[in-house]
Structure 1
């Protein structure tokens, strides 16, 4: 990540173990530990949700964060290929990922334009909030087993 207006790269990782591994390989690269979900600690994504293709991509696009993403999901890779704020690497190819990280330390990716989320069909934060908080018709409960 590069904070708005800065060209300095920071790497956000999920655990201390990953941070330690990266800092041993790239001692001058700023690495921080933090959750990948943008939410309160009680609302963080589960492992299954983080592994679901596209979840992090949608959050990143909505927040205007450049992406480094593997090509493990062909649909996501096809959608993001060729965009200046995205770098794809082959899934499972640690050397390719390391090369991308090395290069980004000297030449950070630009942020996606403010219109990118809409162009990709990603709901705005307000639209997502409205969807999640909209009251639904009450549904009858199924009979309890006896």
Structure 2
């Protein structure tokens, strides 16, 4: 496919990208825009490491061509909050120390944010369902669940360990 200029809105900013229309969104985010929150995991859309929000819904950036993102609002982990002012979901993951290697966290946080966008007060079953296709190989599942439940407003105060 030939290259053309494709306009994308990422984290509230407009970017003109010179790339083939079938280029995976993940490559543009990481290579062209230097946004390294989304990770390359499986390349098949199965592990969740590359998740981003597209119009508020979690999507796998490794399998979405950029031509399908024109005119849509893309938000990466970097667009949720900042180091000084993290998004409440990011803050919940920090409070619960919900990481070991951290490779899966992008997908876990993005999927939790998407869940809260559509269901502001989810049940534990809703959280389990929302995160079930995000793979964590380190075994931080308990902390990740606690962080998601904290973000949903079910846990308050200091982490109970």
Per the normalisation by structure 2, the TM-score is 0.25
Q: Which has the higher strand share?
A: 2
| More contact order relative to length (CA 8 Å, sep ≥ 6) | 2
Larger Rg, first or second structure (1 or 2): 1
Per the normalisation by structure 1, the TM-score is 0.27
Q: Which has the higher helix share?
A: 1
